Chains A and B, each alone.
Chain A
Amino acid sequence: MSTLPEAPSARASSDPIRVATTPNSAATAGLPVENEEVAFDIRNFSLWYGQRQALVDVTIKIPARKVTAIIGPSGCGKSTFLRALNRMHELTPGTRLEGSLRHFGSDLYGPGVEAVSIRRRVGMVFQKSNPFPTMSIAENVLVGLRLNGVRDKAVLQERLEKSLHMAALWDEVKDHLNRPGTSLSGGQQQRLCIARSLAVQPETLLMDEPCSALDPLATAKIEELIQTLRQEYTVVIVTHNMQQAARCSDRTAFFYMGKLIEFGNTRNMFTNPGNPQTEAYVSGRFG
Chain B
Amino acid sequence: MAASPYLPTERFARWRKAKSTAVTCVLVLCALAVIAPLFLVIYFLIVHGSSSIDINFFTQLPKPTGEDGGGMANAIVGTMELLAMASIVGVPLGVLGGIYLAEYGSDKANDWLRFAADVLNGVPSIVWGMVVYLMLVVPFKTFSAYAGGVALGLMMVPLVMRTTEEVLILVPQSYREAALALGVARWKVIMVIVVRTALKGIATGVIVALARIAGETAPLLFTALGNNFWNHNLKEPIAALPLQIFAYAISPYDDWHRQAWAGALVLMALILALNITVRILSRDRTHNH
Are A and B associated in one complex?
yes
Hey, which bits of chain A sit against chain B, CB under 8 A?
65, 114, 116-117, 120, 145, 147-150, 155, 159, 200-201, 203, 232
Q: Mark B1-43, 1 if CB is under 8 A from A, else 0.
A: 1001011110011001100000000000000000000000000
| B17 near A149: Cβ-Cβ < 8 Å | no
Query: Which residue of B has the minimal Cβ distance to A64?
Result: B1
A69 to chain B, nearest CB (A): 22
A148 touches B17 (CB 8 A): no
| A114-B17, A116-B17 as given contacts; A148 in contact with B8, CB under 8 Å | yes
In the complex, residue of chain B having the shortest beta-carbon distance to the beta carbon of A203: B1
Interface size, chain B (Cβ < 8 Å) = 10
Residue of B nearest to A159 (CB): B6
Asked whether B4 lies within 8 Å of A201 as measured between CB atoms, the reply is yes
Contact of A117 among B1, B4, B6, B13 (CB under 8 A): B13
Apart from A116-B16, A155-B6, list 5 A-B contacts with CB within 8 A: A116-B13, A148-B12, A149-B8, A149-B12, A200-B6
Assembly CA distance A201 to B4 (angstroms) = 7
Contacts of A155 in B (CB 8 A): 6
Q: List the A residue with the shortest CB-CB distance to B20.
A: A116
CA distance A145 to B5 in the complex (A): 11
C-alpha spacing A155/B7, complex, angstroms = 13
- A-B contacts, 24 of them at CB < 8 A, read A65-B1, A114-B13, A116-B13, A116-B16, A116-B17, A117-B13, A120-B8, A145-B6, A147-B16, A148-B6, A148-B7, A148-B8, A149-B8, A149-B9, A149-B12, A150-B6, A155-B6, A159-B6, A200-B4, A200-B6, A201-B4, A201-B6, A203-B1, A232-B1
Can you name the residue of chain A whose Cβ is closest to the Cβ of B4? A201
- CB B18 to nearest CB in A, in angstroms, measures 12
Chain A positions within 8 Å of B6 at CB level: 145, 148, 150, 155, 159, 200-201
Roughly how many angstroms separate A200 CA and B5 CA in the complex, as a whole number?
A: 10
For the complex of A and B, the 9 pairs showing the least CB-CB separation, nearest first, are A201-B4, A148-B8, A149-B12, A150-B6, A149-B8, A201-B6, A203-B1, A145-B6, A148-B6
Q: Which B residue's beta carbon lies closest to that of A234? A: B1
Residues on A with C-beta less than 8 A from B8 are 120, 148-149
Residue pairs across A and B with CB atoms within 8 Å: the count is 26
Q: Whole-angstrom distance between the alpha carbons of A149 and B4 in the complex?
A: 14
CA distance A158 to B174 in the complex (A): 62
Chain B contacts for A148, CB-based, 8 A: 6-8, 12
Chain B residues with CB under 8 Å of A117's CB are 13
Question: How far apart are the CA atoms of A201 and B7 in the complex, in Å?
Answer: 9
Bound together, the chains give a CA A150 to CA B9 distance in angstroms of 11
Min CB distance A127 to B, Å, is 27
A203: min CB distance to chain B, Å: 6
Least CB distance from A177 to B in Å reads 20
Whole-angstrom CA separation of A117 from B9 in the bound complex: 11
How many angstroms between the C-alpha atoms of A155 and B4 in the bound complex?
13
Separation of A114 and B13 alpha carbons in the complex (Å): 10
Q: How far is the CA of A155 from the CA of B5 in the complex (A)?
A: 10
Q: Which residues of A contact B16 (CB under 8 A)?
A: 116, 147
Contacts of A65 in B (CB 8 A): 1
* Beta-carbon nearest neighbor of A144 in chain B: B6
A159–B4 Cα distance when bound, in Å, is 12
A148 to B4, CA, bound (A): 12
**Which residues of chain B are within 8 angstroms of A201 by Cβ–Cβ distance?**
4, 6
A28–B149 Cα gap in the complex (Å)? 86
Inter-chain contacts of A116 with B (CB < 8 A): 13, 16-17
A116 to B8: give the CA distance in the assembly, Å: 11
Q: Which of B6, B7, B8, B9 has the largest count of A CB atoms less than 10 A from its CB?
A: B6
**Please, how many angstroms separate the alpha-carbon atoms of A148 and B9 in the complex?**
9
How many angstroms between the C-alpha atoms of A147 and B17 in the bound complex? 12
- A200–B7 CA distance with the chains assembled, in angstroms: 8
Q: Which residues of A contact B4 (CB under 8 A)?
A: 200-201
B11's nearest neighbour on chain A, judged by CB, is A149
Q: A203 vs B3: C-alpha distance in the bound complex, in angstroms? A: 9
Contacts of B12 in A (CB 8 A): 148-149
Residues in B whose Cβ lies below 8 Å from that of A150: 6
